[in-house]
Amino acid sequence: MDVTIFGCDLDEAALFRERAPFFGITPVITAEAPSAETSHLALGSRCISVGHKSPISHQDLSTLSALGVRYISTRSIGLDHIDVAFANSLGITVEPVAYSPHGVADFTMMLMLMAVRQTKAALLRSEAGDYRLAPTRGRELRDLTVGVVGTGRIGSAVIDRLRGFGSRIVAHDHTTTATADFVPLDQLLRLSDIVTLHTPLDATTHHLIDRDALNRMKTGAYLINTSRGALIDTGALTAALESGRLAGAALDVVEGELGVFYTDQRHQKAEVTALRRLSRLPNVVITPHTAYYTDHALTDTVVNGLINCVRFEKGLQHD
């Protein structure tokens, strides 16, 4: 069985070549995302694998369907880079891939600690040779209430870690699968010293944290996002940070990251974009959508993506 692997990094490619034969799969590998120039590589593959770094347009989906593609396994938990309903209308099934939640949960904890201990400002001072202490002291997680929005596999793993720090934990989700004190979102925002986002991005969660939500948060609270950038209204967040209403934010994902994250922007013109305006704030930590980026997650993603394709061909349902 041929499976075309689009948007493949070098380490991903090596692992696909190593593992695919165990599943009876011959991988056709390209570093490019599906496009008018590359979609022909899917000819002969009913199943393809795609990354999360580039959106797949309606035109590309139509081309893939015409080439005989009937299944897309995306190497991500989120599906916001693919119009799943449109793909389904073309006879293409789209499914995410499961990977260890622990890398993202660990990274989330790191961002929380960086935010409440004012790490970015301390590093900037140290790099400039200023080794004085900050005028305000950091805070300890055991003294804080942390609100976890979204309690799937990653949110639940974050909750497990927070217990070790002794934090009070409140949570919000449509289902109460994790052991936590579940409250309505408005109440979570009012109670929390830190709000951390782990909910999927869809039409109902776009700008979940908007100006009104930010105004309901505690003065001096922190916002953490390792899910999807568009969960937050970037303009409203920037205003809340610049005004001092929020004490800080730590963001692994940001609105407008597409085409910027995963590229070298050092020599680009210093255009004052929303992302650049945020990144200039001393109380904002921004990382380039890297929370998932571990060796363990890579193995999970490759192997489970191959399993997805085999299950589809055998007519089995995705777990």
- The one catalytic residue among 46, 75, 81, 289: 289
Which residues are registered as beta bridge partners of 223? 195, 249
Is the Cβ–Cβ distance between 49 and 28 less than 8 Å? no
Render 133-170 in DSSP notation, one character per residue: PPSS----GGGSEEEEE--SHHHHHHHHHHHHHT-EEE
Q: Is 126 helix (H, G, I), strand (E, B) or coil?
A: helix
Q: What is the dihedral of CA 109, 113, 116, 120, to 10 degrees?
A: -120
Is the Cβ–Cβ distance between 68 and 44 less than 8 Å? yes
Beta strand residue intervals within the chain, DSSP E: 2-5, 26-29, 47-50, 71-74, 93-96, 145-149, 168-172, 181-182, 194-197, 221-225, 246-251, 284-286
119-127 and 102-116 helices, crossing angle to 10°: 70
- The one catalytic residue among 257, 267, 277, 296: 257
- The one catalytic residue among 46, 228, 255, 311: 228
How far is Cα 159 from Cα 194, in angstroms, rounded to an integer? Answer: 13
Beta strand residue intervals within 6-162, DSSP E: 26-29, 47-50, 71-74, 93-96, 145-149
Amino acid, single-letter form, for residue 145: T
Which residues are registered as beta bridge partners of 2? 26
Q: Among the residues of 20-69, which ranges form H helices?
A: 58-66
Residue 228 bears catalytic tag: yes
Positions marked catalytic: 228, 257, 289
